[in-house]
Structure 1
Amino acid sequence: MTEHQVINPLSIGTDYEALAARFRPIFQRIAAGAVEREQSRSLPYEPIQWLKEAGFGAARVPVEYGGGGASLPQLFELLIELAEADSNVPQALRGHFAFAEDRLNSPPGPGRDLWFKRFVEGDIAGNAWTEIGSVAIGDVITKVSPDGDRWRLNGEKFYSTGSIFSDWIDVYAQRSDTGGDVIAAVRTRQPGIVQSDDWDGFGQRTTGSGSSRFIEAEVDAENIIDFATRFKYQTAFYQLVLLATLAGIGRAALRDVAHQVRERKRIYSHGNAQRVSEDSQVQQVVGEVAAWVYAAEASALKAAQPAQRAYLARFSGDEALERAANVAAEIESAKAQVVVSELIQRATTALFNALGASDVREGKSLDRHWRNARTVSSHNPVIYKARIVGDWAINGTEPPFVWQIGNGPQHKI
């Protein structure tokens, strides 16, 4: 047994308030520019650089390696705070934290140590998995081919969220020699990679979720990772980032509606008080928004607990325990998705009931909360997650841990 196999510190959690205190001043700076970035559609290069320099991308790295040592619930609590400041930023970092989580789940050794060092020094990873064009479901057109002691990556991806800000890109590809599915961790800053900010959704406009093209991009041999080794609770993890983003959107919406009501001078003749802030019906609306946001945040954080158990079970040597933890992580994140998506969309719509027609002006950008929530809620269709949860509750059918998207089979006429 090697030293690296013996020494395997895990990220089991830390003092959350001390950890969060490191980043809250940065969150405040990010929040200060959020509306302007929304209105000008300016990508958050500077905010993400602030986070990199502060070591935010290493929040999950064990403290023994210089990271934050955060548990998964603590990571998602941080992401909720960040999403309250600007919901685009945690989604832009979604690919990074997923890739970092995969490295946390990899066997101890020099390779993992090197990635931990990179994360602590500020490196972040983007994401590029979804094929572009007329691709049948299950097909992977992006190929990685051996070329001497290195590999070459060729293909094109969309929804490459956060990659435009990143130092590395977590690319889902297929080996040209064996046909095996792999992750190619490719350095971003090289001539063989072309990135485009061509995401045109009505919400989450500045996540950097555009396309990436790989043209003979170089990949080091040690950064070709067998996809079969990918951490098993990855689908739950990706969803949990979105749940944290939604909860943060809700907190921002509550913050803004409370502020607008407090500051509002104009009242209606058929209202209930001399001041809007004292109008009982307006107070009820804001109270309902607060309750929905509270429930959404509580659901998101509770759903993160099984994922932490799955991470710990990965190194337990108990396959049955690990499988049960992975199932729980997927099922509970799906349950939370069904509830949180509805609650935050409801909250970001209802807030306008406490305000007036002047509050729909573009200058206030209050509509961004609903647009962002609706966009985030469109990921990983919630109807399928509800069915999966129901099938588990009724029949004990295990959820899918990996799924794909693409064209269905053509029907013959």
Structure 2
Amino acid sequence: MNQPPVVEWTEADAPRSARWRSENGTPPPRRVVIADDRTKADDAYRAACEGTALLWRGDFHNARQLLTALARRIDRRPRKAPPADVTQAFHVHRAAQNHRARILGMLLVPLDATLAVPLHRAPDVREACTRAYGPVEPATGETAGETEATATAAEGTAPTASLVSLRELLGLIGANEWRRKGVEIPALGGDRIHPHYGVFSPARGEYVDLVAEAPLPGDELAFDIGTGTGVLASVLARRGVRRVVATDQDPRALACARENTERLGVAGQVEVVEADLFPAGRAPLIVCNPPWVPAKPTSPVEYAVYDPGNRMLYGFLSGLADHLTPDGEGWLILSDLAEHLGLRTHDELLDAFAKAGLTILGRHDITPRHPRARDTADPLHVARAAEVTSLWRLGTADRGTSGTP
């Protein structure tokens, strides 16, 4: 079993160490200095840019203010005009996002053995942390009162069991609030889907509407590939599909989908199973909403947006014919944003259909409603404004073509 990563620093002239927590796999910082309410934002920004992390020992609200101040300093840096080439503009935009995340990730806060933040005026984050990291368990050979890599911080402070970036912690808090209140889904009659941390939230509802409105080829059985929150499986069940097999390989998604189908009263129709793409057998309807952009994700939740090398897209297409019944339909829900960004061409998508032995039976389109599509300040505005999300109705090659590519 792999040992958890450890971050080391010096405090009160003594060496300290604690477990390092990072959901996006960022390695522990090599150098850590102590910061508190006396730390100036310019000094903190300079240290972060040089690769030095700041472990906060002051008031929690002041730490949030410092994080905001760091963000302002990043955002006010002189920026070059975006490249005229939209593909290059995308890569420049992603690089800027990664740089921003790296700098803001340098402000660290401690967590104690119960996943609480031992700082003045800190909120109770134990539920949010437990849902993201799992319950705290003693490592092998430790007593119940100890945790791995636990160290006592400077005199007068609580023990530090682990360190996390404040930016990530605020993300955990926000995700937990989304999980509590849920996302209203009009296609479910206004009922809510409650996304778990690391599972993509169906906040962009247009793709759900496509599945809610496309004509069903039958109501006996459907597969929902990469179910995530279970929203599409639930929509199909509410539409009258008697049995839906929903697959995913992410443990968080599996737990999330099961919880949502129970909450919505469709668990009797929806079976959630662990699988890499397809379950066993064939179905008259197979639905898949893969990540839309073929680029490398940098955090767990981005795996629902970025699909390196079109792995899931092409995997779904190549296996679809072997899992459809003779007259069945595969519904591929896909945005053409990648085409407008120059990351995949329309012809490449059509060629993938043909190579997989598939024919186009029909296509339903919808335009995005999210605010970014209208944000002219967005460096990718031209591509976002032209985006269309489609539900491609695909069948095996021996069926007639009735749709328009």
Normalising to structure 1: TM-score of the pair?
Answer: 0.25
Q: Which has the higher helix share?
A: 1
Larger radius of gyration: 2
| Structure with higher RCO (Cα < 8 A, 6+ apart) | 1
Q: Which has the higher strand share?
A: 2
